[in-house]
Amino acid sequence: MPPKSRLGQNFLRDQQAIRRIVAALGDCSDRTVVEIGPGMGAITRELAAKAGKVLALEVDRELAARLSAEFSAGAAGLGDDAQGTKVQIEIADVLSFDFAAASVAAGQRLLVAGNLPYYITSPILQKLAENSDALDRAVLMVQREVADRVMAEPGSRDFGFLSVAVQMHGPVERLFTLPPSAFSPPPEVHSTVFRWRFAPRFRELRVERAPFLKFLRQVFALKRKTLANNLRAAGIEAVVIADAFSDAGIDSKARAEAISVETLAALWRVLNSAGTTSTIEVAPEVD
Ligand code: SAM
């Protein structure tokens, strides 16, 4: 069966990397792990050996059928405690998957693992962020440039909406990077594995999730402009912005990528209490 590039099918063939991805989840012997895009089962087999239960979501029917056959054959041959009984392959689009219901069914917050299909990395990160209450931690492989943006800190060229939108849902850690030759067929890019521990910061920073994410999207809308100009473009009056900057301790010429999320939260609180954030009309997606 030839790999389908439109579904981001670049299969991992580096056994050491596979072991490191699963080990990075920590002890998962009594946990349910959701695997995004099991493909040919490279990571699934290692998860089957280490996790309490594996729920693998694969959108490609042919691959899902192959994996189901492999794991149910394993279960039939090895008895009830065999790895096949604890691996469930679902034909599913991860973007439509109900993580909250799966977490309730499992009676615990879920772990997530995946060598992600790169064509939908941002929507998947957004989906996980939206479901962070149902999730404990994730170990994910993404294109290296995307990992750079996810992990970026204020002051870095890569710091932007994706960085804050992810990091507002919990800390991220870079683990390791693989060359294209670790995959078959090789992609055109390097790939980086990172860990994300879900611990949303909205309450701690005293901001409301949806309006604050909307605000952040506007703040980072035009990276070459100053923060003040981006807020002006969102319809907030110059005098209101100047007062809010002075209350939040922000320089009038500052660019958003130089400002910490704590200071952005302080700015949002000032603008929100002045009733100005409601004028911002931008969708809160991660990209
Ligand atoms: N985990 C395997 C590995 O590491 O070799 C495969 C990884 S491959 C990069 C991405 C996998 O995600 C493919 O098997 C692809 O069919 C699957 N996929 C693509 N879009 C998907 C979606 N919307 N929902 C679930 N799986 C998807």
pLDDT at 83 (0 to 100)? 52
Confidence of residue 275 (pLDDT cuts 50, 70, 90): confident
Q: Where are the domains of the chain?
A: 5-197, 209-279
Range 55-69 average pLDDT:
96
CA of 38 to the centre of ligand 1 (A): 6
**Over residues 246-260, mean pLDDT:** 91
Instruction: Report whether pLDDT(192) > 80.
Output: yes
**3-class secondary-structure state, position 111:** strand
pTM equals 0.92
Which pLDDT score is estimated for 129? 97
Choose the residue to mutate in 4, 47, 60, 119 for probing ligand 1, maximizing ligand atoms within 8 Å of C-beta: 60
| Ligand 1 contacts CB of residue 83 (under 6 A) | no
Cα 134 to Cα 114, 127, 259: the distances in Å are 17, 11, 30
The pLDDT tens digits for 149-176 are: 999 999 999 999 999 999 999 999 999 9
Which residues have CB under 8 Å from 279's CB, separation 6+? 234, 235, 236
- Among the residue ranges 68-77, 120-129, 241-250, the one predicted with the least confidence is 68-77
Residue whose CA is at the smallest distance from ligand 1 atom 23? 93
Residue 84's pLDDT band, with cuts at 50, 70 and 90, is low
Q: What is the CATH number of domain 5-197?
A: 3.40.50.150
Pocket flag, ligand 1, residue 62 (CB < 6 Å): no
Q: Looking at the chain, which runs of residues are DSSP E strands? A: 11-12, 32-36, 53-58, 87-91, 110-115, 135-143, 172-178, 183-184, 191-197
Determine if ligand 1 sits within 6 Å of the CB of residue 21: no
Q: How far is the CA of 7 from the centre of ligand 1 (A)?
A: 7
What is the CATH number assigned to the segment(s) 209-279? 1.10.8.100
Residue 151, H or E segment: helix 144-151
Measured from the CB, is residue 284 less than 6 Å from ligand 1?
Answer: no
Give me the pLDDT at residue 284, please. Answer: 45
Sheet holding 110-115, edge to edge: 87-91, 53-58, 32-36, 110-115, 135-143, 191-197, 172-178
Q: What is the pLDDT of residue 281?
A: 54
pLDDT of residue 75: 60
d(CA 154, CA 53): 38
Q: Which two tokens stand for residue 133?
A: 């209450």
Ligand 1: which atom is nearest the Cα of residue 44? 1
Residue 93 Cβ inside 6 Å of ligand 1? The answer reads yes
- What's the average model confidence in pLDDT over 224-232? 88
Instruction: Answer yes or no: is pLDDT of 277 > 70.
Output: no
CA 44 – ligand 1 centroid, Å:
12
Residue 8 predicted with pLDDT over 50? yes
> Of the ranges 110-119, 252-261, 272-281, which is most confident?
110-119
Q: Does the C-beta of 41 come closer than 6 Å to ligand 1?
A: no
